[in-house]
Every structure is written in structure tokens, then in C-alpha cells.
Amino acid sequence: MNTTGTLRPGLEGVVATETSLSSVDGNAGELIIGGFPLEEFAATATFEETAFLLWKGRVPGAHELTTFRDDLASRRRLPSATLALLRAAATESRPPMDTVRMAAATLDIDGAVGSTLDDAITITARIPAIVASYQRLLNGNDPIDGRHDLGHTANYLYMLEGNEPTPARVRALETYLNTVVDHGLNASTFTARVITSTGSDLVSAVTGAIGALKGPLHGGAPGPALDMVMEIGSAERIDAYLREKLERGERLMGFGHRVYKVRDPRADVLAGAARDLFRNDGDAALYELAMRVEARAIELLEEYKPGRRLQTNVEFYTALLLHGLGLPPELFTPTFAVARAVGWIAHSLEQSREGRLIRPQSMYVGPRNGEWVPLDKR
């Protein structure tokens, strides 16, 4: 196809759709979710309220919330084929995100599909069950059933650990899930919308989105961000460590963002949640060290990459918060998927209503007028 459009590498600056789900202002450092500034609700809302808001466009009343929470809780049991897949993957010690992607594709294998909203609830209920069950299997433990009396977030920790989590830990994780639930037209959300735009189903959209989230430039950075703080280990090593990395031309994980040119507002919310968690039952020294690493990293990024406006992104404090919750780094990206699944689904629902196939163009730069030489003459 011959195109006359302007080439925008990485689709940077291209506006591809309208949405009522979230607004990301990278210069003002503002994130609005379903009409609410992130700071307004992230640290107090339950994840069920946030999901309801994104899917229905309004906050639920008390009765609606109870019904919604019960509905989610009643759909956590995984199909036996999904469990069999998890067991097979654990035998091969497959990385958790690969397994989550494979298992997500099986979520409708037991025919538990109905209306699109039914599917949305089933997928959302089952993704944390996949992550938790697989983690237990990897550690040589049997998966455990969810508990109907626990909310979505508490139940995720329960299915991972087998103990009822403290309210402080549930709050910290709930704040994280709310914070990363949706974020404009990021790569995985765009993937979900592209798949939905073809008229495909929600399980396919979520499975494709998981594949996009897996990459280190999207959802795969928090583990390395934590490694960096751990490797630095003490305040006097910060400067030398960061300089060495930057002089080798390496990227500092947890910094820089395609859209935010000021501090990611999610970093503020997560830093607050990490501070509260670490104050009660975490490693306060690690939190202090991370704050100092962040401050110095921003100064050095300006020195080594002047004018690029590289600031802290969401991954930096995600690492600290999830570590403080006792989650191992290999669960960081799967836990991101637990939250973002609700956003992917909200975008898929919105895309279905829009009903237009997403089909951009490419600019051909290869040769023309080739002469085809038959195989026996080459």
C-alpha cells in the first residue's frame, strides 16, 4: 500500500481514540481515572469499587458493591484444564509471566462465558487465582481455594500465602492495584483494543495484552529497579554506582517515561503507600535508601541526558512497595497484570461500543520492481 501519511515512529503523539477511562497529562503530571484524580481515591477505595467505576462509568452504591464483590468472589475457581496447564508449566519452571499468558488463554475452556460483562468478571476473578496458584506450585505447594468472605485484594494475598493478610498489607496492595489499573493508551491496552476492534473476544484481548505487558520496556521493569537499590546497598555507594551505569550507556530502571516529563503521579501515591507500609512492618532503612537513590538518579540523569526530562516512573516505587509486601520480584509483573486486567477489559468494552477496526498504515521502504527468478535459476 502506498501511503501519504506522516511516519510517527512508535506512534508517538498520535491520538488513536477517545476514552472516558483515564487521562494522562505528561506535562502536568496528572492522572485521572474514570473522572477522579488518582490521589483522590487510590489510597482509600477498594479495588472492586475501582473496577465497577471503570466498567460502568460511575461509583457503586453499597448494595451494588456487595453484589459485585460476591459475584467476583464466586468465580475464582480455575477450570481443571487451566490447573493442569499450571502444573505442567511448574514442572518446566516456566517464568510466571509466560505461564500467566498461557493460562489466560484457557480461561474460557470450561465454557464459563456468557454476556461480555460476565466474561469480564470471570477473567478478573481468575487472573489472581492463576498467579497465586502458579506461585504455590513453583514453590512445591498445592494451590488453595479462594475465600468467599475476602475481597479481591485480600483473597489474592490469601491464595498466595495461605494466611489471612493484615489490613495494612491489604491496604498497601489495594492502593497499588488502584494506582496501576489504567493508564491511557499504553502498549498493552492498545493491544487489547486492537484485538477487540476486530470483533474478537475478551479472553483473546486480555491474553494479547499480557503478552505486551511482559516486555521490559512496559511492565517488566520493577524487578530490575529493586535490584538496583539492593545492589547499591548503602548511601555512600549511590553516586559511584549510578555514574558507572550511566557511563556504560545503561538505563536506570524505574526512570523515564514516554509520556511523563515530570514525576509520574503514580510514583507519589505509591511512595506514600510504601512509607505507610514500611513504617509499620517493613524495612525502613531500605525505604530511606530508595528515596536517596531516587533523588540522586534524577540529578545524574539530568547531567548525563540533559534536556530529556527523565523522572521517576511508576516502576520504582512499585518495586519497593511489592517487596515490602513480601512479594518476590518474579511476581511484580504478574501482580501488575492482576490490576491492569480491569483496565484492559474496560478499554475492550469501550472499543466494542466504538465498533471501529483499528488499522493504521505502514510506509513501505523496501525495493520495488523486483524480477522473480524461478527457483531452479537462482
Least spacing, CB of residue 9 vs ligand ACO, in Å: 9
- Cα–Cα distance for residue pair 278/266, rounded to 1 Å: 18
Specify the stretch interacting with ligand ACO by CB under 6 A; choose among 40-48, 95-103, 108-116, 307-315.
Answer: 307-315
Shortest approach of ligand ACO to residue 188 CB, angstroms? 9
Toward ligand ACO, which CB reaches closer, 96 or 146?
Answer: 96
Q: Tell me which residue has cell 506461585.
A: 135
Cβ proximity to ligand ACO, 307 vs 370, nearer residue: 307
Does 315 contact ligand ACO by CB under 6 A? yes
Residue type, 106: T
Catalytic annotation present for 315: yes
Using rule CB under 6 A, residue 296 touches ligand ACO: no
Residue 187, classified by CB atoms within 10 Å of its CB into exposed (0-12), middle (13-18) or buried (19+), is: middle
Cell match 485480600: residue?
A: 154
Q: Please state the closest distance from residue 146 (CB atom) to ligand ACO, in A.
A: 27
The answer to whether the beta carbons of residues 345 and 181 sit under 8 Å apart is: no
**Residue 302 annotated to the active site:** no
Q: Give the residue with the Cβ less far from ligand ACO, 99 or 311.
A: 311
Decide if residue 313 touches ligand ACO (CB under 6 A): yes
Nearer to ligand ACO, 151 or 220 (CB): 220
Q: Which is nearer to ligand ACO, 306 or 370 (CB)?
A: 306
DSSP 251-313: --TTB--SS-SS--HHHHHHHHHHHHHHHHHS-HHHHHHHHHHHHHHHHHHHHHSTTS---B-
Write the binding mask 215 to 244 for ligand ACO: x where contact by CB under 6 A, - elsewhere: --xxx-x-----------------------
- E strand or H helix that includes residue 30: strand 30-33
The CB-of-19 to ligand ACO minimum distance in angstroms stands at 18
Name the closest residue to ligand ACO (Cβ).
256
Rounded to whole angstroms, the Cα distance separating 196 from 203 reads: 10
What cell was used for 327? 512479594
Q: Which residues sit opposite 22 in a β-bridge? A: 33
Residue numbers annotated as active site = 257, 315
Chain residues binding ligand ACO by CB under 6 A are 217-219, 221, 251-258, 301, 305, 308, 310, 313-315
